[in-house]
Amino acid sequence: MMRSVRDEPGSVRPIVGLALGGGGALGAAHVGVLRAVHEHGIHLKVIAGTSAGALVGAAYAAGLPLAKIDQNVRDADWSVFGRLRPSPRFGLLDSAALLDTIDRLGGEPLIEDMPRRFAAVATDLRTRQGVILDWGRLGPALRASIAVPGVFSPIVIGDRLLVDGGLAANLPIEAAQHLGATFTIAVRLRPEWEYVPVVRSADAIAELETRSDVLVIRPDLAGLSQWSRNDVPRIIDAGYRAAHDALQDWRVTQRHAA
């Protein structure tokens, strides 16, 4: 069970949430998913994201126009994962080179002041538990969520040492539900990106797909790079196609069930 930095009692009204998984440049697929969601007239008030999903989700939750998010994602230099300078602490890599991208994909507001409810998911390095970052400054939360162990230095928030959320929850459905979502559209990218064993991951996804409160979207990203922006236009299109088809099928199913 993941723990929130701020757990508050009380009920929330039923809302649709979006859970965006991680995967480097493959996270560009989330832009296509958002476009399809808009076209289907689905109103989102809750966004949860892990790693690249947190970057795109934060931009949307902060109120950036979808066209602006699309352009920023296309312009982002995803290759920085492979060429950052060593950090003096931990002997790892400094995430400072990603700050410009983070600023362009959501800026530095307080999470609780954003137009839509948002949470970035990180992992407590000491306990290996997922941490839902749903309040405080956006920048540190995003840096924690993308802090891939062995690539970026851990981020300190409060008394926690935080790293990439994919260690605990690469598909942050629980975080979306924590924010109040009673139906969650979950976007899963490549299983190779996930830190959990493939068999365990496959079993978990199979279980999710039988639940009535979760719709799992899996874009076809075969052969596309998660470290280069060269494939980003195709990745965005793949996200759009997968979401469009999944939402159409879901609507048909709902009509037949009515």
- pLDDT tens profile 41-92: 999 999 999 999 999 999 999 988 999 999 888 887 766 554 444 454 443 4
Residue 175 confidence (pLDDT) above 90: yes
Is 2 contained in some domain? no
Pairing of strands 181-187, 160-164: unpaired
Task: With respect to residue 163, please indicate whether it lies within any of the assigned structural domains.
Answer: yes
Q: What is the pTM of this model?
A: 0.83
CATH number for the domain including 230?
3.40.1090.10
**Percent of the chain whose pLDDT exceeds 70:** 72
Residue 150's pLDDT band (cuts 50, 70, 90): confident
Q: What DSSP assignment string belongs to 151-205?
A: TS--EEETTEEEEETHHHHSS-HHHHHHTTEEEEEEE---GGG-SS-HHHHHHHH
Is 4 inside a domain boundary? no
- 5 domain residue, yes or no: no
Distance CA 180, CA 178 (A): 5
Q: Could you give the 3-state DSSP secondary structure of residue 21?
A: coil
Stretch (H or E) spanning 15: strand 15-20
Domain span holding position 124: 14-257
| Residues 20 and 216 sit within 8 Å (Cβ to Cβ) | no
Domain assignment of residue 1, yes or no: no
Q: Which residues contact 253 (CB under 8 A, 6 or more apart)?
A: none
- Structural domain includes residue 253: yes
Q: What is the 3-state secondary structure (H, E, C) of 231-253?
A: HHHHHHHHHHHHHHHHHHHHHHH
Q: What percent of the chain has pLDDT over 90?
A: 55
- Higher local confidence (pLDDT), 183 or 72: 183
Answer yes or no: is pLDDT of 36 > 90: yes
Mean pLDDT of the chain: 81
* pLDDT score for 226: 77
State the total domains in the chain.
1
Looking at residue 4, the DSSP 8-state letter turns out to be: E
The residues annotated with a catalytic role in the active site are 51, 164
Would 239 be classed as within a structural domain? yes
Identify the pLDDT of residue 43. Answer: 93
Q: What whole-number distance in Å separates Cα of residue 20 and Cα of residue 188?
A: 7
User: Lowest mean pLDDT: which of 45-49, 52-56, 186-190, 197-201?
Assistant: 197-201
Q: Are strands 214-217 and 155-157 parallel, antiparallel or unpaired?
A: unpaired
d(CA 184, CA 200): 21
Structural contact between residues 72 and 66, judged by C-beta atoms closer than 8 angstroms = no
